[in-house]
Structure 1
Amino acid sequence: MNRLLLVAVAALGAAALVKKLQDQQAERDLWAEATDDVAAGQR
C-alpha cells in the first residue's frame, strides 16, 4: 500500500512539473510574439 501511495505521489508531482514547464514555455512564447520587432524592418 505504501509503494502505491509513493508511486501516486510521484506521478502527481511529475504531472505538476510538466504542466508548470509547459505553462512557462507558453508564457515565453507569448512574450516573444508580443515583443517581436517586426516593425523594425519597415523603418
Structure 2
Amino acid sequence: MKKLLVIAALAAVGYVVYQQIAAAKAEQDLWTEATSAPDLR
C-alpha cells in the first residue's frame, strides 16, 4: 500500500512539474511572438 501511495505522489509531482514547464514554454513562445519583428513578406 505504501508503494502505491509513493507512486501516486511521484506521479502527481511529475504532472505538476510538467504543467509548470509547459506553461513556461507557452509564455516564452507568446513573449517571443509579441516582441519579434513583424513578417512583412
1:26 aligned partner: 26
- Structure 1 runs, 4 residues or longer, greater than 2 Å off: none
Alignment of 1:6-21 (within 5 A): 6-21=6-21
Q: What is the deviation of 1:32?
A: 0.3
Scaled by the length of structure 2, the TM-score of the pair is 0.87
Q: Unaligned stretches of 5+ in structure 1? A: none
Identical aligned pairs, as a percentage?
32
Number of equivalent positions: 40
Shift of 1:38: 2.0
Distance 1:38 1:3 in 2: 53
DSSP 3-state at the match of 2:36: coil
Shift of 1:37: 1.6
The CA distance in 2 between the partners of 1:38 and 1:30, in whole Å, is 14
Bigger radius of gyration among the two: 1
